[in-house]
């Protein structure tokens, strides 16, 4: 398959998936990307999790066809956006006339291992920061460029480029020390039943993962694969955009991407995936 | 919602039927989770209840519950809640009414949403827009008559 962002490819991909219908997921399939990068999609849950013994990547819940998209970068539509971000990485922007590359070198060097440990406490700023916050810090203070919006194409593409440099490494976010307070706040949000449907993250993704809710096969809601290329909207989706969609679907007033609540929730949910491999950009339905 | 309720109420009134008044969501009385009296004051229509149960924009009960009787014409039944086959053998009408109206009165902490409840929510939204609710109390997920219709349908699900 050609690496090509044009719509016909997307339509074809969608058609394939729809034709496959409810093809059952092969839950024991193993994910090796490009025949080279071994991805841990199932492993023992981190100690802090009380109700789940084994954590599973969302990849294990998807159909064979959807799973296949992620096995080779030439089939992974998310990689198109990684290529786009590579160009941006190398291009100067802002009053300081700098590009990402000017300080960080090639992404494979400067960004190796970064995705795996974010969100992360930033001592100088005195806060837990996501990749998006760190990217904008660079843009504003080092490049003297305009910050990107959280859900802009430039931002989500850049987080995909950064994520690729950690693929196969275990997610390993710190939850103790100065990050503990933010983590606890995220945990509280995870277990809060929002909206008129009174649903918490846990109701679906802890109590009912592996069950069908109408035609959807509920996953554990892991975020090790973000940003995620979704076949349903044919673009990369940020973690916070997904959070927003989930909370909206509880008939609640949602939080905004980039809000302190979602930063805290991201840290907590990321920590539930400690031990799974970084997969981004993953492919999901 | 209000207009529909009024219309139904006036229809009933003009028909001169000897039925009770509609019970507002805040006035529902639960006894051990059960609700004895019709919420609308009228009998339920099982055929319409079947539609509410199986339609995404209405009750969408099949999102979580499988029902063999409608397996052929309604795709994708969920498996989050118990299968509803034979549910009328296991519960009385009053108990089913209570569970549909607010299942948390029967099963503390259940994932099942309350379909006839309007207050007491955390960050209530304006339906599925993600924006803040426009009113407090909210409109209930189902009207009193829709709850009665669903209960009437559930009462047809017998195996014994």
SS3 at position A216: strand
Calculate the average pLDDT of chain B.
91
Q: Quick check: B133 contacting A, CB < 8 Å?
A: yes
Q: With an 8 Å Cβ cutoff, are B121 and A214 in contact?
A: no
Q: Is the pLDDT of residue A3 over 90?
A: no
ipTM of the complex: 0.88
Question: Residue A185: in which H helix or E strand, if any?
Answer: helix A180-190
Measured between alpha carbons, how far is A196 from B124 in angstroms, rounded to an integer? 6
Q: With an 8 Å Cβ cutoff, are B121 and A212 in contact?
A: no
The whole-angstrom distance between A203's CA and the closest CA on chain B is: 6
Q: Is the pLDDT of residue A19 over 90?
A: no
Chain B residues with CB-CB distance to A22 below 8 A: 76
How far is C-alpha A66 from the chain's CA centre?
Answer: 16
The confidence band for A11, taking pLDDT boundaries of 50, 70 and 90, is: very low
Handedness of CA B60, B107, B71, B90 (dihedral sign): negative
For B19-36, the three-class secondary structure string (H helix, E strand, C coil) is: CCCCCCHHHCCCECCECC
- Residue to substitute from A23, A193, A253, A259, interface B, most B β-carbons within 10 A: A253
The confidence band for B145, taking pLDDT boundaries of 50, 70 and 90, is: very high
pLDDT on residue A28: 78
Contact yes or no for A60/A42 (Cβ under 8 A): yes
Contact yes or no for A24/A63 (Cβ under 8 A): yes
For A86-121, write each residue's pLDDT tens digit.
999 999 999 999 999 999 999 999 999 999 999 999
DSSP state of A131: H
Contact yes or no for A150/A130 (Cβ under 8 A): no
Q: What's the token pair of residue A164?
A: 């690729």
For A48-71, write each residue's pLDDT tens digit.
999 999 999 999 999 999 999 999
pTM, entire model = 0.90
Question: Residue A264: in which H helix or E strand, if any?
Answer: helix A260-271
Number of neighbouring beta carbons within 10 Å of residue A50: 7
What is the number of residues in chain B? 160
Q: Which residue of B has its CA nearest to A203?
A: B111
For B19-55, write each residue's pLDDT tens digit.
679 999 999 999 999 999 999 999 999 999 999 999 9
Work out the average pLDDT over A69-76. 97
pLDDT on residue A113: 98
CA distances from A23 to A18, A33, A81, A141, A196 (A): 10, 22, 28, 49, 33
Q: Is the pLDDT of residue A217 over 90?
A: yes
Q: Is the pLDDT of residue A21 over 80?
A: no
pLDDT on residue A24: 59
For B108-132, write each residue's pLDDT tens digit.
999 999 999 999 999 999 999 999 9
Selected residues 8-47 of chain B with any CB under 8 Å from a CB in chain A: none
Contact yes or no for B138/B121 (Cβ under 8 A): yes
Q: Is the pLDDT of residue A37 over 80?
A: yes
The confidence band for B9, taking pLDDT boundaries of 50, 70 and 90, is: very low
Asked about A246 being catalytic, the answer comes back as: yes
DSSP B83-149: --TTHHHHS-HHHHHHHHHHGGGTSTT-SSPPSS--S--SSBBSTTSSSBPSSSSPPPSS-HHHHHH
Q: Is the pLDDT of residue A219 over 70?
A: yes
């Amino acid at each position: 398959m050609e690496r090509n962002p044009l719509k016909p490819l997307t339509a074809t991909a969608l058609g394939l998936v729809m034709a496959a219908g409810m093809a059952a997921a092969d839950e024991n399939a193993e994910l090796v990307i490009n025949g080279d990068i071994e991805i841990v999609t199932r492993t023992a849950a981190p100690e802090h999790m009380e109700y789940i013994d084994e954590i599973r990547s969302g990849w294990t819940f998807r159909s064979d066809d959807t799973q296949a998209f992620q096995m080779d970068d030439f089939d992974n539509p998310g990689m198109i956006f990684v290529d786009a971000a590579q160009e941006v990485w190398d291009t100067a922007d802002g009053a300081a006339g700098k590009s990402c590359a000017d300080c960080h070198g090639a992404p494979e060097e400067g960004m190796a291992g970064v995705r795996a440990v974010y969100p992360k406490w930033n001592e100088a700023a005195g806060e837990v920061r996501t990749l998006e916050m760190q990217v904008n810090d660079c843009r504003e203070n080092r490049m003297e460029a305009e910050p990107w919006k959280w859900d802009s194409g430039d931002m989500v593409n850049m987080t995909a480029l950064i994520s690729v440099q950690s693929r196969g490494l275990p997610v390993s976010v710190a939850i103790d020390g100065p990050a503990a307070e933010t983590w606890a706040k995220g945990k509280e949000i995870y277990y809060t039943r929002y909206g008129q449907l009174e649903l918490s993250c846990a109701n679906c993704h802890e109590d009912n993962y592996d069950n069908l809710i109408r035609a959807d096969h509920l996953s554990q809601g892991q975020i090790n694969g973000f940003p995620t290329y979704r076949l349903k909207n044919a673009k990369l989706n940020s973690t916070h955009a997904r959070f927003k969609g989930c909370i909206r679907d509880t008939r609640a007033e949602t939080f905004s991407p980039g809000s302190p609540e979602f930063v805290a929730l991201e840290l907590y949910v990321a920590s539930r995936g400690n031990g799974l491999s970084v997969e981004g950009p993953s492919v999901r339905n | 919602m209000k207009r529909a309720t009024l219309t139904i109420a006036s229809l009933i009134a003009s028909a001169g039927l000897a039925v009770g008044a509609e019970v507002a969501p805040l006035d529902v009385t639960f006894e051990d989770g059960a609700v004895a009296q019709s919420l609308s004051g009228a009998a339920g229509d099982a055929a319409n209840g079947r539609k509410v149960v199986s339609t995404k924009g209405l009750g969408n009960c099949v999102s979580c519950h499988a029902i063999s009787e409608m397996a052929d014409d309604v795709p994708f039944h969920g498996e989050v809640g118990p299968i509803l086959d034979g549910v009328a053998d296991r519960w009385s009408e009053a108990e089913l009414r209570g569970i549909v109206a607010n299942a948390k009165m029967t099963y503390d902490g259940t994932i099942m949403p309350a379909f006839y409840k309007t207050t007491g929510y955390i960050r209530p939204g304006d339906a599925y827009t993600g924006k803040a609710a426009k009113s407090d109390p909210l409109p209930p997920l189902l009207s009193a008559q829709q709850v009665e219709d669903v209960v009437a349908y559930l009462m047809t699900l017998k195996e014994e």
